Amino acid sequence: MTGRDELRVAVVGVGVMGADHVRRIVERVRGARCTVVSDVLPDRAAAVSAFAPGSRAVADPYDAIAADDVDAVVLASPATMHEKQVLACLAARKPVLCEKPLTTEAETALDIVRREIESGVELVQVGFMRRYDTEYLALRDAIASGKLGTPLVAHCVHRNPSVPDYFDSSMVIKDCLVHEIDATRYLLGEEIRSVQVLRPTPNSQARRGLQDPQLVIMETTSGRLVDVELFVTSGIGYEVRMEVVGESGSATLGFGRKSPGFIDHFAAAYDAEVQSWVDAVHAGPATGSFVDGPGAWDGYAAAAVCAAGLLSLQTGNRVSVELEQP
Ligand SMILES: NC(=O)C1=CN([C@@H]2O[C@H](COP(=O)(O)OP(=O)(O)OC[C@H]3O[C@@H](n4cnc5c(N)ncnc54)[C@H](O)[C@@H]3O)[C@@H](O)[C@H]2O)C=CC1
Ligand SMILES: O=C1[C@@H](O)[C@H](O)[C@@H](O)[C@H](O)[C@H]1O
């Protein structure tokens, strides 16, 4: 799988995120090259392959995953495709960096956790790139330093200027909130035990039927509360903020920052994420793990909170999160 100077990577699904990952592998990531560019739209695969010298375009994602000239896979297909494609990576014993969310239901994410355990080796990393963002890392350091005292509450803002037409109310949870779910677990070091989704007056500029904004309150196992404003049709810019309030101080990230979109905002974090993954895959034969950072369990835990969030979206009631052991 490794032992080579350069990891041979297939990028599967080359829309917005996948094409961006191909570019970073070609231009900035050390120790990897893109050998296969795959998309069910052959023209798109060919167009993106054109900027990865030495790569070939493959339409069938499963052919790409199984290919002999592919050591590892970056999965950036639509979320509904992740389950089957991650399982194909596990079957081929190939490390995979799967874009978030791991899958769209808790059951299928748990199945991946179990299948990975059966395989005997950690192969699945989930694309929670905020864990590689310098501002999140500084916030984590501030918490760990003890300067804030015990964290009690956190406030988050997650705004997009706009979203594609296919974006529905459930995607605000599964595609957007999923990042704050992971950030909460990562920064506070606890699981989330309940979630409540409130529905403020919808933005008149939002597509009919899209509940936007949404206000979410999550509770961790020790009773800390984290509120999240999700607003995906703000019309203004991409904004991600967080404030953690502890017994003896508070710390923030993202205030005063506005970007055109996530690609610009988190560019350095995506670079760091993919580089760390490539390094972990190279080190895998020695360490026994082909993952750096968020793995299949993190993908499952986030999916379970999303599932509870989707139930709450319907009723507005607080819903408990039940995590099953694999
Ligand atoms: N980490 C992050 O900040 C972000 C992550 N994402 C995630 O990346 C993934 C892709 O999202 P986008 O790039 O925004 O979507 P997109 O719609 O721009 O691109 C998806 C691509 O996958 C292709 N595709 C469709 N069916 C496929 C299949 N069965 N197998 C392989 N490819 C297939 C489509 O033709 C398209 O080119 C999603 O899981 C999404 O949640 C998206 C945006 C930001
Ligand atoms: O994952 C992402 C998108 O899918 C989602 O639409 C955005 O809201 C997130 O901030 C971005 O990181």
Three-class HEC string of 103-154: CCCHHHHHHHHHHHHHHCCECEEEECHHHHCHHHHHHHHHHHHCCCCCEEEE
CA 180 to each of CA 3, 6, 253, 279: distance values in angstroms, whole numbers, following the listed order? 36, 34, 13, 26
Whole-number Å distance between alpha carbons of 52 and 205: 39
For residues 86-105, give the mean pLDDT: 98
**Residue 55 is which amino acid?**
S
Q: Is the peptide bond before 61 cis (omega within 30 degrees of 0)?
A: no
Residue 5 pLDDT class (50, 70, 90 cuts): confident
Confidence check: pLDDT of 289 > 80: yes
Smallest Cα–Cα separation from 234: which of 265, 254, 259?
259
Tell me if 146 CB under 6 Å of ligand 1: no
Residue 3 pLDDT class (50, 70, 90 cuts): low
CA of 159 to the centre of ligand 2 (A): 9
Nearest atom in ligand 2 to the alpha carbon of residue 99 is: 1
CA of 109 to the centre of ligand 1 (A): 18
**Residue indicated by tokens 């961790």:** 220
Q: What's the confidence (pLDDT) of residue 175?
A: 97
Nearest atom in ligand 2 to the alpha carbon of residue 100 is: 1
Mean per-residue pLDDT of the chain? 97
Query: At 5, is the secondary structure helix, strand, or coil?
Result: coil
Q: Measured at the alpha carbon of residue 181, what is the angle toward residues 17 and 179, in degrees to the nearest 5? A: 20
Q: What's the confidence (pLDDT) of residue 225?
A: 98
Tell me if 15 CB under 6 Å of ligand 1: yes
The residue whose C-alpha atom lies closest to atom 7 belonging to ligand 2 is 176
Q: Residue 165: phi, psi to the nearest 5? A: -60, -30
Q: Which uninterrupted H or E stretch holds 83?
A: helix 82-91
Q: What is the pLDDT of residues 210-260, one digit of tens each?
A: 999 999 999 999 999 999 999 999 999 999 999 999 999 999 999 999 999
Whole-number Å distance between alpha carbons of 145 and 147: 5
CA of 182 to the centre of ligand 1 (A): 19
For residues 281-303, give the mean pLDDT: 97
Confidence check: pLDDT of 1 > 70: no
Pocket test for ligand 1, best of 14, 17, 171 (most atoms within 8 A of CB): 17
CA of 176 to the centre of ligand 2 (A): 5
The residue whose C-alpha atom lies closest to atom 11 belonging to ligand 2 is 262
Pocket lining for ligand 2, CB < 6 angstroms: 160, 163, 175-176, 179, 262
Helix 16-27 / helix 267-287 crossing angle, nearest 10 deg: 70
Pocket test for ligand 1, best of 16, 158, 298 (most atoms within 8 A of CB): 16
The residue whose C-alpha atom lies closest to atom 18 belonging to ligand 1 is 15
CA 221 to each of CA 159, 174, 186: distance values in angstroms, whole numbers, following the listed order? 27, 21, 13
The residue whose C-alpha atom lies closest to atom 16 belonging to ligand 1 is 15
Ligand nearest to the CA of 231: 2
Nearest atom in ligand 1 to the alpha carbon of residue 14 is: 37
DSSP state of 80: G
Q: What percent of the chain has pLDDT over 70?
A: 99
Residue 288 region by backbone torsions, left for phi larger than 0, else alpha for psi between -120 and 50, else beta: left
| Residues comprising the chain, all counted | 326
Residue 66 region by backbone torsions, left for phi larger than 0, else alpha for psi between -120 and 50, else beta: alpha
Q: What does the longest C-alpha to C-alpha distance in the chain come to?
A: 56
Q: What percent of the chain has pLDDT over 90?
A: 98
Pocket test for ligand 1, best of 40, 84, 162, 266 (most atoms within 8 A of CB): 40
The residue whose C-alpha atom lies closest to atom 12 belonging to ligand 2 is 262
